[in-house]
Amino acid sequence: MSTLQLGVLVSGNGSNLQAILDAIADSRLDAAVRLVVSNVPDVRALERAERAGVPSLTLCHREFSSRELYEQRLADVLDEAGVEWVALAGFMRILTSTFLRRFPDRVVNIHPALLPAFAGAHAQLQALNYGVKVAGCTVHFVDEGVDSGPIIAQRTVPVFDDDDEASLSGRILTEEHRAYVEVLQWIAEGRIHLAGGSEGSRARVVRQPP
């Protein structure tokens, strides 16, 4: 097992980034965050990186003339920082093959719903409006679709009759922090295997060697 060389992409609050940083500090996660990149300036996630002494930078997509040029630069800065795996943590941009082929099968995301239900924005509100009684989060590989890559792990939470978007989001977020750290540790241990099939790829977690 070797220390996971991680890049984390953010756009906002960064509580998942914080969960990752805390788990590394507590030796629950064998990883090093080599670089945090935000596409939005002055967000809380950048403050969290700074407080943890982790390198960070803002790479604003609006300053690039095309999506392709933005993604090339994004991949370059991560590469130069020694990043091997990329974790999206509230990163509000769709990534295309320009970026993904630079980190093949090494980009993961966390989504606040039980995929394939409620992909896209405001997933918790979509779930509430639908009237589901169980909600949750999903950690998955990133492909070119919207929240559509192979699922690695899911965690569930109950939905209560008096929930609103904020209360449900908070309950899901607590599970997100646990799920993301757990999956990243599995990756560090080399335990996630992607098997291709005619219907698409499936991710499975290999049992720990005895």
Q: Confirm whether 111 is a catalytic residue.
A: yes
Taking residue 21's Cβ as centre, other Cβ atoms within 10 Å add up to 22
From residue 109 to residue 148, the character string flagging contacts with ligand GRF as x (rule: CB under 6 A) and all else as - is: -xxx------------------------------------
What are the start-end ranges of the H helices in the chain?
15-25, 44-51, 67-80, 97-100, 123-130, 165-188
Which residue number, 7 or 90, has a Cβ lying nearer to ligand GRF? 90
The answer to whether residue 59 forms part of the interface with ligand GRF (CB under 6 A) is no
Structure-token pair, residue 131: 């009237």
Binds ligand GRF by CB under 6 A, chosen from 4, 6, 7, 15: 15
Q: How many residues sit close enough to ligand GRF to count as binding (CB under 6 A)?
A: 12
Structure-token pair, residue 146: 């919207």
- To ligand GRF, the closest distance from the beta carbon of 78 in angstroms equals 18
CA 89, CA 107: separation in Å to the nearest integer? 11
Which residue number, 89 or 159, has a Cβ lying nearer to ligand GRF? 89
Return the exposure string of 22-60: e unless at least 16 CB atoms fall within 10 Å of the residue's CB, then b. Answer: ebbeeeebbbebbbbbbbbeebebbebbeebebebeebe
From residue 93 to residue 112, the character string flagging contacts with ligand GRF as x (rule: CB under 6 A) and all else as - is: -----------------xxx
The answer to whether residue 14 forms part of the interface with ligand GRF (CB under 6 A) is yes
> Is residue 59 within 8 Å of 39, Cβ to Cβ?
yes
CA 97, CA 9: separation in Å to the nearest integer? 16
- To ligand GRF, the closest distance from the beta carbon of 165 in angstroms equals 11
Which residue number, 12 or 55, has a Cβ lying nearer to ligand GRF? 12
Residues 159-178 that bind ligand GRF (CB under 6 A): 173, 176
- To ligand GRF, the closest distance from the beta carbon of 206 in angstroms equals 25
CA 30, CA 23: separation in Å to the nearest integer? 8
Contacting residues toward ligand GRF, per CB under 6 A: 12-16, 89-90, 110-112, 173, 176
